[in-house]
């Protein structure tokens, strides 16, 4: 309902303005509407309301159109990261039992090899569908219809699907429009992959009547060329992208005169990097803190906010809550924390997920009485600004991509040579953090190459440990919990 | 002449990964992640002292492709 409204309203208001852009084509609002109508008819002929449609593809404008077409007919989109290995994809496919796939040539090849009975629509072919001004009869008449299942890395060994509805997207969009305030025609570049939860930012710019520019894949040069050539005004980047962009040849001579705002999220931005980015690019930075399970952005630090020094060493300011996303800090016993106390960030509101797909236990653990526990640790200062102190569940953020130790440990434990294992974050200048595996071997020898091969077969590349460190015993407390802080210190010393 | 394997190895978080990758193997499918691919592309630019084109970037999928871009006949 929400996404279809975006199409209908903006087709009337800005019929010839560009809604979507990639290196292959510009799509006007009229064409966007008609492309989606044509695709929605194709999908409606193949799936029933509530059926899942997986998307396995690199970035292109047709990917965005697929989100809208599925939403129009009540199909649930399940975007899949093309970097996932065959076992990781199999886990998702077996869980969501899709009736249809939409894929680029590479994705279609992979699906045909492993799932020959799954019908696949060619994403490249969508541009050749005959546009239709008539949307199929809308089978979605309420905002709580499932919209997408976004798979996150896992806290418990296997990835979990975050089920969100259109109400979540709408609530977060209205919050974004009130706070970030993009205008009709604002040129927004999404440099992130479209399977990522940050897709909601692109949907918000479309809600504003803006233009969403889609980068096929991030490289510093392609991003710089897009920023300059497409006269991008707002861009969403993760800190690693900002650092690589600043190292790009031609950054000093690039015409970035249209650029007005850099939104950054996913990992704390080091202060020196923020200063350099502001100086070299000449535009303000805005910190946003989002959680997939919360439906998008929860906290935001505006460029003109002046939070002062960190209340605790190493804390990162996340700003104040977005409208529509009530936030509170909660102690482990469930009581509300006092100001200046470090506690877990809880979020409420209509944008939080409907739950984890087919996982009521995990849902009940994460959401209680309407409050989502992000498990990130924070404190509040005298001005009401939230400061991130530690990440949830020992989360490792590698270049903006989440890696949960449990998932990597689960794979390494499959090896007959591993008696025990713990994966922790080590600092990295470029990527922010890198996963390091501490391994307690069964025998006297440790075949690292075999462990790497195991990871290559089972895990997407960004989850693979950058180092393997042999230990006689993985340190644990009396209750058996791994002493990760000690291992993090060891990883930092060992890598320096 | 800079060896393509040396250049790639220097830009992998886990350099030994390259030991099991043949010259014609797809680097991504062999476990190289997208961040490492970005670093490899940047290192190629540094070596060539010029920007590489989108088309060259698209082709940069194997050790052999890196070697060819750098003007070498083979990856090893």
**Could you tell me which residues come within 8 angstroms of residue A281 by beta carbon, excluding any fewer than 6 positions away?**
A246, A256, A259, A262
What is the distance between the alpha carbons of residues A152 and A137, in angstroms, rounded to a whole number? 33
Tell me the shortest Cα–Cα distance from B51 to chain A, in angstroms. 7
pLDDT at A485 > cutoff 60: yes
CA distances from A465 to A403, A419, A456, A474 (A): 10, 17, 10, 17
The answer to whether A446 touches A468, Cβ cutoff 8 Å, is yes
Q: What percent of chain A has pLDDT over 70?
A: 97
Q: Find chain B residues with C-beta within 8 A of A448's C-beta.
A: 16
Please name the residue of chain A whose CA is at the shortest distance from the CA of residue B21: A453
- Which of A107-121, A476-490, B19-33 has the weakest average pLDDT? A476-490
The answer to whether A69 touches A41, Cβ cutoff 8 Å, is no
pLDDT tens sequence across A271-325:
888 889 999 998 989 999 999 999 999 999 998 998 888 888 778 899 999 999 9
DSSP secondary structure letter of residue A392: G
This prediction has a pTM of: 0.86
Residue with tokens 């569940």: A393
Q: Find chain A residues with C-beta within 8 A of B39's C-beta.
A: 430
Task: Give chain B's largest Cα–Cα span.
Answer: 30
Measured between CB atoms, does A460 come within 8 Å of chain B? Answer: yes
Tell me the shortest Cα–Cα distance from B74 to chain A, in angstroms. 24
Q: Find chain B residues with C-beta within 8 A of A430's C-beta.
A: 35, 39
Query: Which of A110, A219, A439, A453 is best to mutate for the B interface (most B CBs within 10 A)?
Result: A219
Q: What is the ipTM of this complex?
A: 0.78
Single out the residue of A286, A325, A314 nearest to residue A388, CA to CA.
Answer: A314
**Could you tell me which residues come within 8 angstroms of residue B5 by beta carbon, excluding any fewer than 6 positions away?**
B18, B63, B75, B76
User: Closest partner residue to B38 among A219, A249, A452, by Cβ?
Assistant: A219
- Which of residues 5 through 34 in chain A touch B, CB cutoff 8 A? 23
Q: Find chain A residues with C-beta within 8 A of B17's C-beta.
A: 452, 456, 464
Measured between CB atoms, does A464 come within 8 Å of chain B? Answer: yes
State chain A's mean pLDDT as an integer: 91
Measured between CB atoms, does B54 come within 8 Å of chain A? Answer: yes
Q: What percent of chain A has pLDDT over 90?
A: 69
Question: pLDDT class for B1, splitting at 50, 70, 90?
Answer: very low
User: Closest partner residue to A220 among B14, B16, B42, by Cβ?
Assistant: B42
Single out the residue of B16, B21, B35, B28 nearest to residue A467, CA to CA.
Answer: B16
Measured between CB atoms, does A466 come within 8 Å of chain B? Answer: yes
What is the distance between the alpha carbons of residues B30 and A169, in angstroms, rounded to a whole number? 36
Tell me the shortest Cα–Cα distance from A466 to chain B, in angstroms. 5
Tell me the shortest Cα–Cα distance from A437 to chain B, in angstroms. 12
- The pLDDT of residue A247: 86
- Which of residues 419 through 438 in chain A touch B, CB cutoff 8 A? 430-431, 434
Q: Find chain B residues with C-beta within 8 A of A217's C-beta.
A: 34
pLDDT tens sequence across A227-250:
999 999 999 998 889 988 998 878
User: Closest partner residue to A467 among B14, B52, B57, by Cβ?
Assistant: B14
What is the distance between the alpha carbons of residues A463 and A298, in angstroms, rounded to a whole number? 26
Write the burial class of residue A268 (CB in 10 Å: 0-12 exposed, 13-18 middle, 19+ buried).
buried
The answer to whether A1 touches A72, Cβ cutoff 8 Å, is no
Q: Find chain B residues with C-beta within 8 A of A228's C-beta.
A: none
**Could you tell me which residues come within 8 angstroms of residue A28 by beta carbon, excluding any fewer than 6 positions away?**
A15, A16, A17, A18, A19
* Residues β-bridged to residue A237: A264
Q: In the predicted model, what is the mean pLDDT of residues A407-428?
A: 92
- The pLDDT of residue B74: 43
User: Taking CB atoms and an 8 Å cut-off, how many pairs form between chains A and B?
Assistant: 69
Measured between CB atoms, does A349 come within 8 Å of chain B? Answer: no
- The pLDDT of residue A138: 58
Are the Cβ atoms of B57 and A455 closer than 8 angstroms?
A: no
pLDDT at A496 > cutoff 60: no
The Cα angle at residue A211 between residues A254 and A37, in degrees rounded to 5? 145
Question: pLDDT class for B76, splitting at 50, 70, 90?
Answer: very low
Measured between CB atoms, does B48 come within 8 Å of chain A? Answer: no
Are the Cβ atoms of B20 and A449 closer than 8 angstroms?
A: yes
Most confident stretch, A74-78, A403-407, A425-429: A74-78
pLDDT tens sequence across A338-356:
888 899 999 999 999 999 9
* Beta strand residue intervals within A70-206, DSSP E: 76-80, 100-103, 120-122, 146-152, 160-165, 187-190
- The pLDDT of residue A416: 93
pLDDT at B73 > cutoff 50: no
Q: Find chain B residues with C-beta within 8 A of A222's C-beta.
A: 54, 57
- Which of residues 385 through 404 in chain A touch B, CB cutoff 8 A? 398-399
- Which of residues 189 through 218 in chain A touch B, CB cutoff 8 A? 217-218
Backbone angles phi, psi at A306, to 5 degrees: -125, 85
Q: Is B20 left (phi over 0), alpha (psi -120 to 50) or beta?
A: alpha
């Amino acid at each position: 309902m929400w996404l279809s409204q975006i199409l209908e309203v903006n087709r009337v208001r800005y019929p010839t303005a560009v809604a979507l852009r990639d290196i292959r084509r510009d799509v006007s609002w009229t064409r966007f509407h008609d492309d989606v109508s044509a695709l929605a008819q194709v999908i409606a002929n193949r799936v029933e309301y509530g059926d899942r449609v997986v998307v396995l593809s690199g970035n292109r404008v047709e990917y965005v159109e697929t989100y809208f077409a599925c939403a129009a007919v009540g199909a649930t989109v399940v975007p899949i990261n093309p970097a996932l290995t065959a076992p990781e994809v199999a886990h998702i496919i077996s869980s969501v039992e899709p009736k249809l796939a939409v894929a680029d040539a590479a994705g279609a090849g992979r699906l045909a090899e492993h799932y020959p009975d799954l019908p696949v629509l060619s994403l490249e072919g969508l541009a050749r569908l005959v546009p239709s001004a008539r949307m199929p009869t809308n089978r979605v008449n309420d905002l709580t219809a499932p919209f997408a299942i976004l798979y996150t890395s896992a806290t418990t060994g296997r990835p979990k699907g975050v089920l969100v509805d259109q109400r979540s997207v709408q609530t977060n969009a209205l919050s974004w429009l009130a706070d970030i305030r993009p205008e009709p025609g604002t040129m927004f570049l999404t440099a992130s992959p479209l399977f990522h939860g940050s897709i909601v930012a692109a949907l918000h710019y479309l809600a504003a009547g803006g233009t969403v520019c889609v980068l096929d894949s991030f490289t510093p040069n392609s991003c710089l060329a897009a920023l300059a050539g497409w006269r991008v005004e707002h861009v969403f980047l993760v800190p690693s992208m900002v650092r690589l962009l600043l190292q790009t040849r031609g950054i000093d001579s690039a015409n970035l005169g249209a650029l007005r705002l850099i939104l950054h999220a996913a990992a704390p931005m080091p202060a020196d990097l923020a200063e350099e980015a502001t100086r070299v690019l000449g535009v303000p930075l805005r910190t946003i803190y989002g959680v997939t399970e919360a439906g998008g952005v929860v906290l935001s630090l505006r460029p003109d906010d002046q939070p002062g020094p960190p209340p605790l060493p190493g804390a990162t300011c996340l700003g104040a809550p977005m409208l529509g996303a009530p936030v509170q800090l909660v102690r482990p016993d469930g009581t509300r924390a006092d100001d200046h106390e470090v506690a877990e960030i809880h979020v409420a509101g209509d944008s939080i997920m409907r739950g984890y797909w087919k996982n009521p236990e995990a849902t009940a653990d994460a959401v209680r009485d309407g409050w989502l526990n992000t498990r990130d640790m924070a404190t509040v200062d005298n001005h009401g600004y939230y400061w991130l102190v530690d990440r949830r569940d020992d989360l490792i953020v590698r270049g903006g991509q989440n890696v949960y130790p449990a998932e990597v440990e689960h794979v390494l434990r499959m090896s007959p040579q591993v008696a025990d294992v713990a994966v922790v974050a080590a600092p990295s200048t470029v990527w922010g953090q890198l996963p390091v595996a501490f391994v307690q071997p069964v025998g006297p020898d440790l075949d690292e190459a075999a462990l790497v091969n195991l990871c290559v077969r089972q895990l997407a590349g960004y989850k693979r440990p950058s180092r393997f460190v042999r230990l006689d015993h993985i340190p644990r407390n009396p209750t058996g919990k791994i002493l990760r802080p000690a291992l993090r210190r060891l990883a930092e010393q060992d890598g320096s | 002449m800079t060896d393509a394997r040396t250049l790639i190895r220097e830009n992998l978080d886990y350099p030994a990964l390259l030991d099991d990758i043949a010259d014609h193997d797809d680097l991504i499918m062999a476990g190289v992640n997208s961040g490492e691919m970005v670093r490899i592309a940047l290192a190629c630019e540094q070596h060539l002292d010029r920007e590489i084109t989108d088309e060259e970037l698209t082709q940069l999928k194997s050790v052999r492709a890196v070697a060819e871009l750098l003007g070498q006949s083979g990856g090893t």
